A and B are shown apart, each in its own frame.
Chain A
């Protein structure tokens, strides 16, 4: 199994509070991703990173920010949590593929976030 951990695994927070989720990898992979999983939507990309300090937005990035100051850690921050951000959040990592771009993605165990 790819060495990916997410913390916390479960969190309950109140509307308006800031929340930071952490993804940690031991694989030294270049690419990292944050997804959210909601019933009826599958997984949707929030943000991704293609190197230290190199990040970009996915399709549902509003209300989220990310940071990557080290290869192994990719942080997702909800600046002011809302009930619509109640979801399961998955981190994924990707090694370099044959052509130098990203290869297959491997997923962490997920963080279940509830915003009350």
Chain B
């Protein structure tokens, strides 16, 4: 079945460091891929998405590229800030999903120190 495997955390970085959070997926066909972010005490917010191979999603300095050949959608940011501290979730939605069901990874806690 469809599933997402996400890099285990927690990840601790200094401000301005480079961030990579790995995400790989298993799915039939070509799913849509998402990164969500959850700030403390809040719900999930869509950070970026990609709907087909080689698409690059980007938002707020974060980027992720849909790599069909490696079934990956790694999240990157060139220079993190303290305000990026949050939990990040990778998710997929099956191409044939008529009801929009999302499959989530377990989440990666990111802490950025000044």
Contact = CB atoms under 8 A, between A and B. Distances in A.
A94 interface: yes
A106 B104 CA distance: 14
B98 to A, nearest CB: 5
Interface stretch (A14-22, A69-77, A79-87, A97-105): A97-105
A105 B97 CA distance: 13
Contact of B106 (A33, A40, A106): A40
B104 A43 contact: yes
Given A41-B106, A42-B89, A43-B104, A101 B44 contact: no
A16 to B, nearest CB: 29
A47 B28 CA distance: 23
Contacts of A101: 97-100
A3 B43 CA distance: 13
B43 A90 contact: yes
Contact of A48 (B89, B99, B105): B99
Residue of B44, B100, B106 contacting most chain A CB atoms (<10 Å)? B100
Contacts of B49: 104
Interface of A: 4, 31, 33, 40-45, 48, 50, 56, 58, 90, 92, 94, 97, 101-110
